[in-house]
Every structure is written in structure tokens, then in C-alpha cells.
Amino acid sequence: SVVIPFHNEQLSTLLRTLTSVVKRSPSALLKEVILVDDCSTLDCSREELEKALWQWGGLVRVVRTTQREGSTKARVIGASYATQDVISYLDSHVEVNQRWLEPIVSHINTNNKAIVMSTLDTITTEKFELQGAGWGFHGGFNWNLEFYWKGLPDRILNKLQRTYDPVPSPIMPAGAFALHREFYMWLGLLDPDMKIWGVDDVEFSFRAWQCGASVEIHPCSHVGHIFRPHIPYTFGNDTSQRVVFHNSVRTAEVVLEHYKKFFYAQANHHKVDVNMTSLRARRQLKSDNNCHDFSWFMQNVIPEMPLPPQDAVHYEHIMPKETKDNCIDVDQTD
Ligand code: UDP
Ligand code: MN
């Protein structure tokens, strides 16, 4: 089941996504495509989209939310309609490449706890051309809970037998990944109480590893994605900073345990309302599933990342350029 959430996606890019999925997936593997229209307000394209879907005779269908749910909840809603063993999530402005699906399904077939991300190529925003991503990177995070690409450490390079082996990734972005549906349900899905956009994928990656998954990037499966220079939609009645902070707080509270102080020490704080009842339920789920704690994650999934000393009040990497005209000194007043 391919699940694609969208909010105000242009018809041309949405059709590029769908056409590539239908044409480049073997019919034995592709059973349904579920579009989740997250309360788009671009009504002009609605009829044209429905007309375009006829050509695929029921393979692609649209479910519509009645209020703006945000990308995470839209993904979760899409999963509730999925009927097949494997769910594959895609953004609505991608182009899947030849044989994008076979390696993913095959890998999940051998390990039903694998969460497999496709290699994300770039579709340029100027000419809409495909630019291949290089090999040798995977996802890390900083204490502000932001994702970033980092070079593969030796411990992984030494273990990989072939350049086409899936590469373990501590964190993965949510644009194109697949996993076993039942395992996904058991994990507790993406956190449905995340707002509009952001950090849901970081939270899910942490939690998935802690609960026995292995998050991997498959070098043989390629999906081109339009990385937009800025977010083109509104954040409801809220600001993007507040929404992202809200989602980061949920992440810190569910996965970081006593490491959360490193997040709070450096984050730009905003006044946000976090639903404590649902947070407690998310923590409870992790303990019911006997998931590892966050120290385990640091030691086993990303051991090359230096651990902040436990008595540190603040922890950050200082870049040389920031210190050029300043001196750093130890405050000895207390
Ligand atoms: N999306 C959605 N509802 C929203 C925001 C985003 O359904 O409120 C969809 C969006 O159309 C896209 C996916 O969620 O298909 C991921 O969002 P986006 O591509 O903006 O995230 P990015 O790739 O920039 O991280
Ligand atoms: Mn996207």
C-alpha cells in the first residue's frame, strides 16, 4: 500500500508522483495507492485530479480529511486505510525511479522489523531535473532535534560487504520510507499528535530503534524529491517556530529521558500547549513494548556521537568561525 499525504500540492507534481509510482512498480507488488488530501484549499485541481485518477481504474484513491491535520496525522490516517502487508510512504512531489520498490519489499520480506528508506535524490526546483544523491551518508541529529546528513562512520563502512547493502541510519527523513504494516501498528505508528510539520520523523526514528527496528537506507531504491527552499503552506493559525517547538517537546518528552535537558538548554523556547495525557500514553506504549532506553540508543545506534557529560548544563558544538572575534572562557563565578 503506497500512502501519499498532500496539502495544496500542485496537480502537475502530484501527477508526476502518481505516474511514476504506477508505471514503475510491478503490478504484483503495487496493490493500492492511497492519497490523503489534507484539507487542500486549491479546489480548482480537485476535479482534474479525480478525472486523472480514472485512467488507473481504482488503483489510486483519495481520502479526504475534514480539517487540516498536518503531515504526520495525514500519514497515520492513510495507514488506517491500507490493507496490504507493507506500507510505503511517499511525499506528494517525488518521482520514483525504475525498480524503486522491489529492493524495499524484498528487504522487508527478509526482516519484518526493517524500516527502509529509499535513497533520496534531488529534483531541482529550477528545472525539475533529477540529481542523484551520493553514497556514503546517513542521518544524524543535533540536540535541537534537527536532522542532518553525516558521513558513514568506520564502524558501518567496515561492516558493509557491498555498496548495494542497506545502510543503517540513526535518523531518517519521512519523505520516502516503507515498513511492515503490523510491525508499524505494534510500534504505535508516527505520533499522531504532532502538529502540521516537522520532527515527527526524528521522533519516529529514535523510537523505532529503541523498540527493536532497524532503520536503513537502501542504495538500490531511488526516489527523487523536490526539496523546497521554504515551506509553501500555512501552519494553521500558528507560527512555524511554535509548531516545530511543540513537536520537538513531544519528541524530547517521549524519547530523550534525562537527556532532554540538553534539548531544553539550547532550544528557543516558545509558549506551547502539549497534551500531557497523550504524552503519558506514548511513554506507556514504549514501556509496554519493552523498548530500550535512550542511553542504549546512544551507545548502540550512534556511538560516534560524543555524549554530553551528564552534569553539563548546556551542550553544543562551537564552530571556529563563531569564536573568531570572541574569546571563550570558563565562568568561575559559581
Ligand atoms: N502535508 C500534509 N499536510 C500538511 C503539511 C504537509 O499532508 O499540513 C504533506 C505534504 O503535501 C507532503 C508531505 O506532507 O506530501 C510532507 O510535507 P513536506 O513535503 O512539506 O515536508 P518536507 O519534505 O519539506 O520535509
Ligand atoms: Mn517533501
Q: What is the pLDDT of residue 308?
A: 81
* Ligand 1 touching residue 184 (CB < 6 A): no
* Ligand 1 touching residue 6 (CB < 6 A): yes
Which ligand neighbours the alpha carbon of 94 most closely?
A: 2
Amino acid at 210: Q
Could you tell me the mean pLDDT of each successive run of 10 residues in the chain, 334 residues long? 96 96 98 97 82 95 96 98 98 98 98 98 95 95 95 96 95 97 98 97 98 98 95 92 97 94 88 93 97 97 89 69 61 59
Testing ligand 1's pocket by substitution, the residue of 12, 123, 197, 240 carrying the most ligand atoms inside 8 A of its CB is 197
Percent of all residues in the chain with a pLDDT value above 70, rounded to a whole number: 93
Predicted model pTM: 0.94
Task: Tell me the three-class secondary structure of the chain, residue by residue.
Answer: CEEEEECCCCHHHHHHHHHHHHHCCCCCCCCCEEEEECCCCCCHHHHHHHHHHHCCCCCEEEEECCCCCCHHHHHHHHHHHCCCCEEEEECCCEEECCCCCHHHHHHHHHCCCEEEEEEEEEECCCCCCEECCCCCEEEEECCCCCEEEEECCHHHHCCCCCCCCCEECCECCCCEEEEEHHHHHHHCCCCCCCCCCCCHHHHHHHHHHHCCCEEEEEEEEEEEECCCCCCCCCCCCCCHHHHHHHHHHHHHHHHHHHHHHHHHHHCCCCCCCCCHHHHHHHHHHHHHCCCCCHHHHHHHCCCCCCCCCCCCCCCCCCCHHHHCCCCCCCCCCC
* Ligand 1 touching residue 25 (CB < 6 A): no
Q: Which CATH architecture has domain 2-225?
A: Alpha-Beta Complex (3.90)
Q: What is the pLDDT of residue 257?
A: 92
Q: Whose CA is nearest to atom 19 of ligand 1?
A: 91
Q: What is the pLDDT of residue 45?
A: 74
Q: What is the pLDDT of residue 332?
A: 63
Domains in the chain: boundaries: 2-225
* Ligand 1 touching residue 38 (CB < 6 A): yes
* Ligand 1 touching residue 197 (CB < 6 A): yes
Which ligand neighbours the alpha carbon of 40 most closely?
A: 1
Atom of ligand 1 minimally distant from the CA of 233: 5
Q: What is the pLDDT of residue 329?
A: 64
- What's the mean per-residue pLDDT of the chain? 93
